[in-house]
Amino acid sequence: MDFMLLLRRQILVFLVVGIGAALTVYFFNTWWVDDFLPAIGLKRNEGGALGSLLMITVAFISQRLVSTAIYRDWLFGMQTQQENTARINSAYVTTTEQVAEELHQVGTYNNVVRSQLNTVVAETEKAAFDIASRLQTIDSVVTDLNSFVDTSSHESNEMLLESEARIVRNRELIGTLDQYIKDRIVSSETDRQNVAQVVMEAQSLGSLVQLNRSISKQTNLLALNAAIEAARAGDVGRGFAVVADEVRKLSGATDQAVTQIDQGIQAVSVSIESHFKDKMSMEHIEAERTALQSFAAQLNDLGKSYQEVTDHEVQVMVQIRSSSKQLAEMFMNALASVQFQDVTRQQIEQVIDALNRLDGHADLMAERLNQFEDPHFELKPLSQHLDQMYGNYVMTSQRDSHHAAMSNAPAKTDSGSGRPKIELF
């Protein structure tokens, strides 16, 4: 209890008892001296001593009674306070023992948490290695795909060059064919005109035949006239008659030859005309021109289709190469993302280290509770442990979280500081 409070209580009780004693002396002193003492046969001095002893005794008893009436105990509330203090001390000791016991159990609790964290580390590490293994398999496939794409691209480039050369040749062939069609049309027209000219010239020979036939007839008439004149001349004209007869025979033979020549010319003319009629007709020439143009158009369309196929193949190879490159980049990004397991493992290991520190600190706190009377007991504060934990962080996010938890603004970090660096596999 506070000393001043006890003093105030004592003064209050003393004043109450003193006032009561003063009132008693004031009202009963005359009766005591004049009546009571003579009645019991005591002198004045003896009565004063007896009265003093009686007053002190009554005052002592009155103090206790007043203290009991006011403070519920006869020690000015000290007994109640002592009982409360004893009860508090008992509760404190019980609580201290409970807290110490619970602090000792913190290690067991943290062991469970550490075990779970170690399990998480093991599981994540196993999963990460499994993912890495699968990604390595994918990497092998991607590598084979890239090799195939490169080989196919090289072959495709060679085929493309050959295709372009072939397309150029086809275009040249189409140009040559087109020129051939034009030349063929001109040649057909020229041939038709030449054949027509030959037929016309062959037919024109008929006038010469007619001329020869006319000459033959006139010669025959002359031979007949000569024979008549020879007959008139008698024996003198007999030799001339023989000549006239031979001339007449020769004229007949000439007429037969001319007839045969005319028939031959007509036959040749008809044969030439009939033989070249189909080939030299405009319908035949137009049909041939149409067929050749159709063939040229089909060949041109084939060249265009081949060009489109080649262009499409180039686009496909470009798309495949681009997709293969993107797939390789995505694979590398995925492989880099697997590194999160190392980050998680190191962060969890730091949490486990923090739990170990908490174990040691809890044990020291339990010992401190059990040795609360030892003034030389040393207890390392948690703030120092937090500072040491901060120095072991490997990521800026950890430091930012630390500052946020400590209700501080994030501190500026130095990229060249000597803090531990994160380790990746």
pLDDT, one tens digit per residue, over 1-25 is: 566 766 776 777 778 778 877 887 7
How many angstroms from the chain centroid is the CA of residue 63? Answer: 92
178 and 264 share a domain?
yes
372 and 309 share a domain?
no
210 and 287 share a domain?
yes
DSSP state of 73: S
180 and 306 share a domain?
yes
Domain membership flag for residue 122: no
User: Are the beta carbons of 265 and 200 closer than 8 angstroms?
Assistant: no
DSSP state of 35: I
N residues, the chain: 425
Domain membership flag for residue 201: yes
Domain membership flag for residue 301: yes
171 and 312 share a domain?
yes
294 and 358 share a domain?
no
For 138-201, the DSSP string reads HHHHHHHHHHHHHHHHHHHHHHHHHHHHHHHHHHHHHHHHHHHHHHHHHHHHHHHHHHHHHHHH
Looking at 31, 53, 76, the residue that finishes a domain is: 76
DSSP state of 416: T
Residues in the chain predicted with pLDDT less than 70, given as ranges, are: 1-3, 5-6, 9, 67, 71-84, 92, 98-99, 102-103, 107, 109, 113, 202-203, 205-206, 208-209, 236-238, 240, 248, 273-285, 306, 335-341, 372-373, 408-425
What are the pLDDT digits (tens) for 311-334?
Answer: 777 787 778 778 777 777 777 777
Q: Please tell me the total count of domains within the chain.
A: 3
d(CA 40, CA 289): 179
User: Are the beta carbons of 359 and 110 closer than 8 angstroms?
Assistant: yes
* Structural domain boundaries enclosing 386: 339-425
Domain membership flag for residue 29: yes
What are the pLDDT digits (tens) for 341-398?
Answer: 677 777 788 788 888 888 887 887 777 777 766 777 777 777 787 888 788 777 787 7
Domain membership flag for residue 135: no
Whole-model pTM: value is 0.40
Domain membership flag for residue 123: no
344 and 314 share a domain?
no
Domain membership flag for residue 98: no
Looking at 320, 348, 382, the residue that finishes a domain is: 320
Looking at 76, 93, 121, the residue that finishes a domain is: 76
286 and 363 share a domain?
no
Output the pLDDT for position 203.
Answer: 66
How many angstroms from the chain centroid is the CA of residue 86? Answer: 72
d(CA 166, CA 179): 19
185 and 316 share a domain?
yes
Domain membership flag for residue 52: yes
Output the pLDDT for position 282.
Answer: 63
User: Are the beta carbons of 314 and 160 closer than 8 angstroms?
Assistant: yes
